[in-house]
Structure 1
Amino acid sequence: MILIEVLAAIVIWLSFWSLIPRDEWWFRGADFPRLQILAVGFITFVLLLFWTAPWDWIRGVILLLLIAALAFQLKMVLPYTFVWKKQVKQVTKDQLNLDQQISVIVSNVLTPNNKYHLLIEQIEKHHPDIVLTLETDQTWQNQLSSIEKNYPYRIPVPLDNLYGMHLYSKLKLQDVEVKFILSDEIPSIHCSVILRSGQPVQLYCLHPKPPSPTEAKDSTLRDAELLMVGDQIKDLDESCIVMGDLNDVAWSRTTRLFQRISGLLDPRVGRQYVNTFHADYKFLRWSLDHLFHSTDFALVHMQRLPHIGSDHFPIYVVLQTGRIFEQVQDELEQSDADEQEAQQAIQEGIEKAEREEKMVTDEIAQDYKMN
């Protein structure tokens, strides 16, 4: 009985811990394993409910708090199941138009992973218009050279710090910029891709640092980078796609705020989780790799691809744009409070980036004086 009560207490604590508005990793980390917390919570609920020991007030209080915790977790994860209303319409057979489509593979390859052929096999199987690789260094760039004959437009950013990225495209790319938004170590790719119909689509490829004890101590820069891009998108009257390993889950406060600020839609809502990390642990997975798009896109196809030796699964998404979809799909509503929260997070991120840059500059200056 004590073990059941301890499990219930852990589920209750983790469920409401993430509601604390703090950016430190030990708070934000509770956003990730909501499915796992929910599973443990349901098992604990059944055991607590049917335990043969006599009821007392402690058991009753724990049961009520556990029900509240489970209800909260369900609220967060149910939108990514078939029971929820789809946020993005499905393109029907009679609506298919290849000239208005764009197909994408997004893959965090894990830099030390040397199973290059597994990703190449998936690219050759699906023939996507766009391939975005993350954590790719010069070695990965060399190994992927075999696909270059089919991808004449390329944006290589090879880095050895686990934040390199490469964009390969069959479609013409314009207005290409590689930006280091808040950190000189973290690149992002911003460009315009031209569909076969001639329509331009704004493309943003991101891979911010996760809040963790081995990466960033808090989520401040990650949140600010995502919200800065969202703030930029909201003023655009153009087709738009944001994709990459955002090191955040779809149901987090920041990701949902980003959607409301940017007006972009998530094709997973009303369909499936598409959990991409961790590829090696079946019962410890959540969605870190994302693709969001403007309301003029509808979904043709979406799937998680097989294991490629990385700790992430690749994702494959096919979208089609059209005015008819824009007329039947609505943006998430943004409130004044959302705007205020986003601007505050952006400002905190800018200030933190400036402090970190100053610290680095001061250290360099100090080393110069000592030498």
Structure 2
Amino acid sequence: MQYWWLVIFDFPLFQLTVLTLIILIAYLFKLKVHSRFDQIFFLVLMGCLIFQLVKIFPFTPLADYEVLPPELNDEKRVLSLYTANVFQKNHSTDALLEEIKRYDPDFYVLTETNKRWTDIIIKNLKPSYAHMISIPLENTYGMLVGSKHPLHQSKVRYMVDDSIPSIHTKIILQKQDTIQLYAIHPRPPLPRHNPKSTGRNAELMKIAKLSRGSDYPVIVTGDFNDVAWSGTTALFQQMSGLLDMR
């Protein structure tokens, strides 16, 4: 069980790493290392820097990808996706529509879609994305899935909280290949309304269990309200057996 004031330090880890490096350089070249205290402080900073670098290294350009580019030339068996949190109060709908049209994905998953966002997206993208599942909500947990391929056995489930939906559906490709999709947006830990990350972690673990037991290839996407290097994400990946595309 983690409180928000502990979890929050996972998010600016890259910035904290840069700050630690700057302090180390300044301490070494400007302040010098003379006393026993200076030596201990310098070693502690060095330990922090190494710990932070180890956590973020897998997500830098220097590390190998877990998911490699497809080797197939058969477009009927290659699937592309687009996902974004639209930020419910955002009114720059044209920018999002232009980006989706430019990338032309096989399907998209959007979070924080209320009725205004949903109406605009459906009006502009329905001709290209005939298969849609929309959950317009005004609580910033609305969700919208659009697909060029048929969606089968679609369900809207409330895994932890009856105000926070997730979409479970199967995407049927042109050669009848089936992909299991889980679109999620768990509630983040917040100081006033949700001080612990228990709910978010519980939803992620439930989705991990479903992914592990699926008979089909699985894609889990959406807004996890987490970062790639957190312990929760690492546990999710371990339990689900999924690969990280980042």
Same fold (TM over 0.5): yes
TM-score for the superposition, normalised by structure 1: 0.64
2:148 matched residue in structure 1: 170
Pairing 1:204-283 to 2, within 5 Å after superposition: 204-268=182-246
1:89 matched residue in structure 2: 68
Cα deviation 1:289-312 (Å, max 9, x = unaligned): xxxxxxxxxxxxxxxxxxxxxxxx
1:82 Cα offset (Å):
2.8
1:111 Cα offset (Å):
0.9
1:39 matched residue in structure 2: 18
Picking from 27, 40, 44, the partner of 2:6 is: 27
1:290 matched residue in structure 2: none
Q: Distance between the aligned counterparts of 1:222 and 1:52, measured in 2? A: 44
Q: Which amino acid aligns with 1:252?
A: S
Q: Which amino acid aligns with 2:73?
A: L
Q: Distance between the aligned counterparts of 1:180 and 1:39, measured in 2? A: 39
TM-score for the superposition, normalised by structure 2: 0.96
Q: Which amino acid aligns with 1:119?
A: L
Against the structure 1 CA distance between its residues 154 and 38, is the aligned structure 2 distance closer, same or farther, given a 3 Å change threshold?
Answer: same
1:77 matched residue in structure 2: 56
Structure 2: 5+ residue runs without aligned partners? none
Against the structure 1 CA distance between its residues 50 and 168, is the aligned structure 2 distance closer, same or farther, given a 3 Å change threshold?
Answer: same
Q: Which amino acid aligns with 1:69?
A: C
Picking from 35, 41, 52, the partner of 1:56 is: 35
Q: Distance between the aligned counterparts of 1:148 and 1:125, measured in 2? A: 16
Q: Which amino acid aligns with 1:135?
A: E
Q: Which amino acid aligns with 1:186?
A: I
- Tell me the number of residue pairs that the alignment of Structure 1 and Structure 2 aligns: 245
Q: Which amino acid aligns with 2:113?
A: T
Picking from 112, 127, 144, the partner of 2:89 is: 112
Picking from 157, 164, 176, the partner of 1:198 is: 176
- Is 46-55 or 71-80 further displaced after alignment? 46-55
8 A Cα contact 2:70 2:78, kept in partner: no
Against the structure 1 CA distance between its residues 133 and 28, is the aligned structure 2 distance closer, same or farther, given a 3 Å change threshold?
Answer: same
Q: Give 4+ residue runs of structure 1 displaced > 6 Å after superposition.
A: none
Against the structure 1 CA distance between its residues 48 and 118, is the aligned structure 2 distance closer, same or farther, given a 3 Å change threshold?
Answer: same
Q: Distance between the aligned counterparts of 1:111 and 1:147, measured in 2? A: 18
Q: Distance between the aligned counterparts of 2:93 and 2:168, measured in 1? A: 26
